[in-house]
Amino acid sequence: MTPQIPDRSNTRLNLSAGLASVIVAIILVALKLWAYSATQSLSVAASLADSALDFMVSLGALAAIYYAARPADDDHTFGHTSAEDLAALGQSVFILISGGVIGWAAVRRLLSSDPVTLMSEGRGMMAMAISIALTLALVLWQRHVARQTGSRVVAADSLHYLGDLLPAGGALLSLWASSRFGLPYIDSVVALGAAVLLVIGSLRIGKGAWDALMDRSASPALIAGIEAIAKSHPGMHGYHDLRTRQAGSTVFVNLHVELDGSQSLNDAHAISAGLKHAIRQAYPQCDVIIHQDPVR
């Protein structure tokens, strides 16, 4: 049995999330560039730099999603889905560094005795409010796609943009506080919280990508579900050597089944094909290979 072609509906969803990420990043860069030129706000400048980096990361993520969607070939007989894990691992490192830089800048600003003087806060607040709305819409779509497809690269990109919401919100709050109360330090406090969130999230995404690249088995819940299906499937006398590994959003399952050796090859194949279909129906992300053994 040959590995299956990646699910086209999942591929389309992943590509839509990647393309949306690139488009939103371009809009955010233009919007924040205008806001920075109007306000000279360092918090807006930091958000602008973050969005510029988002654009580069999103381009890389889109390329990884496109490459991972390619079907298996002679050189990659199990497909190209590990490209998602490589991209997610790279993103997690980038997010970790970004969190550290944002946290360090926030601490320095909190300890500084020279507060930032802001200008044209109204324009800046309007630009940041629009950027927050766009980012939130993108994050909601990416999270929906990640839940549907299990794509780590989409999940990592979603985490990165989610982390952008707090600095952007901090920039909006600091502009408002500067305009209303003359309080320039609020954005640093919010940015510090965002940095902590980024570090924690990057470690979680990075661990998942690392585990997949090291061929760690699938989750215990998924393995238990496959075992339950195999035990209850008609015509089965037992099973052994259940092995799983994950690459990108695909879980590869290898299973030896024990069948009545006196039955015809057609009957044995029908039982195996039915079991494969049952596993795929319960877990669409699985690529299942079944080996038939005569019962002992």
Q: How many domains does the chain have?
A: 2
| CA-to-CA separations, 177 to 17, 41, 269, 270, in angstroms, rounded | 35, 13, 70, 70
The string of pLDDT tens digits covering residues 206-233 is 777 777 676 677 778 888 889 898 888 8
Identify which has the larger pLDDT, 92 or 34.
Answer: 34
User: Which distant-in-sequence residues (6+ apart) come within 8 Å of 73 by Cβ?
Assistant: none
Do 239 and 96 have their domain in common? no
Determine the length of the chain: 296
Do 188 and 237 have their domain in common? no
Residues spanned by the domain of 270: 220-294
Domain containing residue 250: CATH number: 3.30.70.1350
Do 157 and 252 have their domain in common? no
pLDDT band at 5 (very low <50, low <70, confident <90, very high): very low
In the predicted model, is pLDDT for residue 249 greater than 70? no
pLDDT band at 4 (very low <50, low <70, confident <90, very high): very low
The two beta strands, 286-294 and 238-247, are unpaired
Of 213, 234, 257, the residue at which a domain comes to its end is 213
Do 125 and 207 have their domain in common? yes
Pair of tokens at residue 184: 């320039």
CB 88 within 8 A of CB 156: yes
Domain membership flag for residue 2: no
Pair of tokens at residue 160: 């990165």
Do 58 and 173 have their domain in common? yes
Do 186 and 276 have their domain in common? no
Domain membership flag for residue 290: yes
Of 194, 213, 232, the residue at which a domain comes to its end is 213
The string of pLDDT tens digits covering residues 116-128 is 555 566 777 788 8
Average pLDDT of 243-256? Answer: 79
Of 161, 184, 213, the residue at which a domain comes to its end is 213
Domain membership flag for residue 1: no
Do 198 and 269 have their domain in common? no
Domain membership flag for residue 3: no
Domain membership flag for residue 81: yes
Do 52 and 106 have their domain in common? yes
User: Which distant-in-sequence residues (6+ apart) come within 8 Å of 280 by Cβ?
Assistant: 286, 288
Specify the DSSP element, H or E, that contains 253.
Answer: strand 250-259
| CA-to-CA separations, 233 to 256, 272, 284, in angstroms, rounded | 14, 9, 18
Domain membership flag for residue 102: yes
Do 191 and 268 have their domain in common? no
pLDDT band at 70 (very low <50, low <70, confident <90, very high): low
The two beta strands, 286-294 and 250-259, are parallel
For 136, counting Cβ atoms within 10 Å of its Cβ (0-12 exposed, 13-18 middle, 19+ buried), the class is middle
Specify the DSSP element, H or E, that contains 257.
Answer: strand 250-259
User: Which distant-in-sequence residues (6+ apart) come within 8 Å of 224 by Cβ?
Assistant: none
- 3-state SS, 42-85, equals HHHHHHHHHHHHHHHHHHHHHHHHHHHCCCCCCCCCCCCCHHHH
Do 126 and 36 have their domain in common? yes
3-state secondary structure at position 216: coil
User: Which distant-in-sequence residues (6+ apart) come within 8 Å of 205 by Cβ?
Assistant: 88, 91, 92, 95, 152, 155, 156, 159
Domain containing residue 124: CATH number: 1.20.1510.10
Domain membership flag for residue 68: yes
Pair of tokens at residue 2: 């040959």
Domain membership flag for residue 107: yes
Highest mean pLDDT among 49-53, 89-93, 241-245, 292-296: 241-245
pLDDT band at 164 (very low <50, low <70, confident <90, very high): confident
The string of pLDDT tens digits covering residues 277-287 is 888 888 877 88
